Amino acid sequence: MYKKFIVILLVLMLALGLGSCGRADYGEEFTGFDESIDMDFAKEVIENIGSFGDDPVMGMRSAGSPAEGETVKYLEGVMKDIGLQNITVDEATVDGWTFNGANVTFTNAKGKEQKIDLASYQTTLQADNETCQLVYLKEGTEGDYEGVDVTDKLVLIDVDQNENWWISYPTVQAKLKGAKAVVAVSLYPEDGADRVGVQDVCAPADAPALAISEKDSKALRKAIKAGGGDSVSVVLNCDSTVTEDATTHNLWGEIPGETPETVFVFAHMDGYFHSQYDDAQGVGVSMAIAKALIDSDYKPEKTIRFCMHGSEEWGVSGSEYDWSAGAYEEIMTTHPEWVNGAFAIVNNDGGYSVEGETYMGTRSAIELKSFIKESIGQLNEESKYEWSYRNTSTYTEDFQWARMGIPAIVAGEGDGEKYDNMGYHSTYDSFDAQPLDEDGFREVIQTYGKLVIDLDNTLVRPMNFTVRLKSFEKSLSDKSEFKDLLDKGYEASAALEEKMAAVEESGDKDVAVELNVKTQAVYKSFQDSLVGLNFDPEVVIKHELYQSNLEAIDGTIKALEDGDVQTAYDEYLWAIDWAWYYMYFDESTVKTLENQLFDNREGTWGEGLIQYRHADIGGVVKSLQDKYDVKKPDVSAEIAKLKELREQQQSYYDAMLASEKVGLESTISLMEEYAK
């Protein structure tokens, strides 16, 4: 039981001392697991998955593609070989994407024929030795097109998706200008001249986008300059196809337990390029955990189910929420019954063990952080990494499962950025470009294996609901309206947590299972009541989107009333919804993507999480752009519009607070009832 584990750990900590040199004894179960970890097996899984790809040059194993199918078949055999039971391949319907390669051939600045291999985003583009012109337009913003006709041309651009905007904006901008396709250099914080990178496109399939390395982009730009014009003639080949109603696969196998509860272990099978880290490493970690548990003859209390998902990177065309499609379909369509008895998730999508990394961490439901620190805190203290503990986000496939009431723990890099800055979603996601840190890799297997074991040995789901209430209280700019309700909530959560501890102490498995049903209902009620998105999309408490807008609008109005257009524009205006994008792209581009967000989110994890459409800020942005350098401009019209928008945002804010109050009242009532 978890109780016993904590007692043993505390005794050992007292006996050895926190600063002691030797390794702590974590008990027979973990020791047996640790000794059974097969590193050669884990690395072999990663290398084999990385070998699957539809394009011999770039790789790619994508939603519904042949390479995804090969991966599923291989991993199904792995699961059988290591002894998992009830192995099942589930099919789900998503939008599919298959990339069979792309290239351009041209005469370079030295007068020689040169061929450049390209990658692609999840868009449709077919070309067979097609001659066309290619122009370079810097970042592909509205201003970069001024005076340039790009009809049926390829538009070469640079895009910084970390600092500026997603590929969707220059892609849609190019389409609306009549371009044949965008060819983009994805900029990274770390140098890599021959690196090709992509992301999920978050745009319609008929707005084609290709990807090129910085080195090859420079060769094309030199050819343009050498030719004395504004373009270069290229011969394009491309075979990139998005299809509706494609079939993706979710593969799972399990170690059956004694109780009706389940601990889930996640990773995803699809990936960009050969993706030996994201997420072949996660699959390798998950399979290594499964094999070590079986080889050590571990007998779980709960069923431990290993779910390898397809279509995590992408699976919905023309949507702001186009990732995590496979996991969404698994819990919403294929196995909604899995919600019943679902204890927790350990998701191995992250924690990439690249050579030279010094940071590591977990991301989790805020309610699980105390448990995580108790489970792996001593292990982390002995680590060569600096560990941190953060909240989960929308960027991994557990998000929709959490909305259904199943809390998750996710592998992460903490403050580390070595992999993200160099290899994320690129041709550098490989052991050749970023060697595997084998000691760190073993530590990741140990850490997340230990979390699985400790979750299994915990009778009562180890949730701290008080911290959820504190997080809500901290988010409020005015706490007075919620004071009485929060006081009531803190009392209810303390009483419920006291009961949870008593049941854990009692060792009564049947009572624990019954209580876990109730605490799952509480967790889901918190999700329903409080969790929303902003337009980035990041997880926020619902009112925070509008609270943030009000603060930005107030700052903009004050600066304008003080006659300071530049401060208003640079420091405040950009933060109002999607004002930032109006600063760089034309209105039709931004409106296209605004409409896409609301019109194509049904059946995705983003459904229903933003209630109101974007503030109508585009006109103010464009007007203040024109007046940015004007001395003492008349900005009365802009102030009037901003005050109108402020009134609207205030009404949204008030509505969200009212909704949150109703939801919290319901959640607190549940806690009061279940604490009895």
Mean pLDDT, consecutive 10-residue stretches, the chain (676 aa), reads 36 34 73 98 98 97 97 98 98 98 98 98 98 98 97 98 96 98 97 97 98 98 96 98 97 97 98 97 98 98 98 98 98 98 98 95 97 94 93 96 98 92 97 96 97 98 98 96 97 98 97 98 98 96 98 98 97 97 98 96 97 96 97 97 98 98 98 97
Residue 520's nearest CA partner among 301, 342, 365, 258 is: 342
How far are the Cα atoms of 172, 285, 300 from residue 292, in angstroms, in the given order? 48, 10, 13
Helix, strand, coil percentages (3-state) for the chain, rounded to 5, are 45, 20, 35
404 CB-near residues (< 8 Å, 6+ apart): 331, 332, 339, 524
Beta bridge pairs of residue 235: 105, 131
73 CB-near residues (< 8 Å, 6+ apart): none
**How many Å apart are CA 162 and CA 169, to the nearest integer?**
14
Which three-class secondary structure string do you get for 142-183? HHHHCCCCCCCCEEEEEECCCCCCCCHHHHHHHHHCCCCEEE
pLDDT at 26: 86
**How many Å apart are CA 92 and CA 330, to the nearest integer?**
7
- The residue type found at 438 is E
**How many Å apart are CA 445 and CA 630, to the nearest integer?**
60
Question: Rounded to 10 degrees, what is the CA torsion of 406, 411, 415, 417?
Answer: -130
Residue 569 DSSP code: I
Domains and CATH numbers, the chain: 2-88+245-456 (3.40.630.10), 98-243 (3.50.30.30), 461-676 (no CATH)
Angle at which helix 509-530 crosses helix 465-475, to 10 degrees, equals 10
Tokens of 419: 């992999």
**How many Å apart are CA 23 and CA 378, to the nearest integer?**
9
Which contiguous run of DSSP H or E holds residue 67?
Answer: helix 66-82
508-512: long-range contacts, CB 8 A cutoff, minimum separation 24: 508/459, 509/259, 509/301, 509/459, 512/459, 512/460
**How many Å apart are CA 413 and CA 434, to the nearest integer?**
15
pLDDT at 7: 36
pLDDT at 362: 96
The structure's pTM equals 0.94
Tokens of 158: 């640079």
10 CB-near residues (< 8 Å, 6+ apart): none
pLDDT at 24: 66
Mode of pairing for the β-strands spanning 181-186 and 154-159: parallel
pLDDT at 20: 32
Residue 334 DSSP code: I
**How many Å apart are CA 498 and CA 511, to the nearest integer?**
15
**How many Å apart are CA 588 and CA 576, to the nearest integer?**
18
**How many Å apart are CA 307 and CA 324, to the nearest integer?**
13
